[in-house]
Amino acid sequence: MRALKATYYDGKTSKRQEVQIYFDNPRQLRVSGLAHELSFSLSEVRIAPRVGNTPRSIYLPGGAKCETTDNDAVDRILEHRRSGGWHAFVHKLESRLGYVLLALVITVASVWGFIQYGIPAIAKQVAYSLPPAVDTALGKGSLSALDQAFLSPSELSEQKQKELRAAFAAMTRDLADEHSFRLEFRKGGAVGANALALPSGIVVMTDELVALGKHRNELVAVLAHEIGHVTHRHALRRLLQDSATVLLIVAITGDAMSITSLSATVPTLLIETKYSRDFEREADRFALGYLKENNINPRHFADILSRLEQSRPGESDIPDFLSSHPATKERIKAFQSAS
Ligand SMILES: [Zn+2]
């Protein structure tokens, strides 16, 4: 780099000396033309901002300064220093495995955090901003699909059905929710004692679950849990979350096929589990709130849940009311301690 002509002031006397300044590398400044050559790290040097074409001061450590009229050259050096600094920084990062690993860990952690918390939060916002008609469309055909696959017509007495439908209607009537709620009964068969909520607002309860209820309020508690799934838009949120998660994973790995491979399935499964666990907890909280507001002892929920767990032959294909996660014992305890 060519020399920059400048006037040197030692900061102690008024003596002026003509000198040459060299920027040999982006981090070093050398002053030549004095009795002894001076050399400074650029980081110790302060360069005054440009004011038109007036002479520019370069302040050196120890009180000395150089003044130059070659403003353009100083600007180039400043520019160089900035980019040099950045390049040096990146180079430093790249040349150290520790930093690389740290960056990798930070990246993975932030993606994981975004999948765990960011996506569900965004999906919730989006779901709540969409009209219930979207849920109705989403749930269209679900009941007939369930009927074909698992369920058969209910054998409950008209009287019992009427009674529970009246209770359900009373529960949903005053809700600030525009879903068209409806209670349906089916014989569960292989599904056994269970209840599930379709996104449209249809709640299905199996004959087996009704038979398991020893107290009317136990069934009310189950219904409250299912209504919680509907009002909190769980089906829609689940759909949004799953799609966004898949999109994000494809975007990061850049490989749509990897979604189907085992390496991608394992984290997806873990996420799945957390997502559904969160929804069960939310539905439970809704149920607990309803029971308390209506002076119903939360114990009823715990009672039917524990009876259900004991009666259960195995995992159901439709894991709704008695979902394996969160741990049923933990759920039972939550309602017991609230009673
Ligand atoms: Zn549930």
Q: How much is the pLDDT for 317?
A: 47
Is the residue at 48 inside a domain?
yes
Is the residue at 205 inside a domain?
yes
Cβ atoms 267, 208 nearer than 8 A = no
Q: How much is the pLDDT for 262?
A: 46
How close is the Cα of 150 to the center of ligand 1, in Å?
Answer: 18
235 and 296 together in one domain: yes
Domain residue limits at 42: 4-94
Is the residue at 73 inside a domain?
yes
* Statement: residue 286 has pLDDT above 90: yes
Q: Which of 81, 61, 49, 59 is nearest to 6 (CA)?
A: 59
38: domain CATH number is: 2.30.29.30
90 and 236 together in one domain: no
Length of the chain: 339
In this structure, which residues have their CB less than 5 angstroms from ion ligand 1? 280, 283, 320
Is the residue at 101 inside a domain?
no
Cβ atoms 232, 282 nearer than 8 A = yes
How close is the Cα of 229 to the center of ligand 1, in Å?
Answer: 7
How close is the Cα of 277 to the center of ligand 1, in Å?
Answer: 9
Cα 136 to chain centroid, rounded: 26
Q: What is the pLDDT of residues 109-159, one digit of tens each?
A: 898 889 889 999 999 999 999 998 888 888 888 888 889 888 999 999 999
183 and 320 together in one domain: yes
252 and 312 together in one domain: yes
Is the residue at 104 inside a domain?
no
Is the residue at 103 inside a domain?
no
User: Could you tell me the two tokens for 219?
Assistant: 């069934």
Q: How much is the pLDDT for 88?
A: 62
68 and 124 together in one domain: no
* Statement: residue 227 has pLDDT above 90: yes
Q: What is the mean pLDDT of residues 100-107?
A: 86
User: Could you tell me the two tokens for 50?
Assistant: 């440009």
pTM of the shown model: 0.66
How close is the Cα of 322 to the center of ligand 1, in Å?
Answer: 7
Domain count, the chain: 2
Lowest pLDDT segment from 80-89, 115-124, 161-170: 80-89
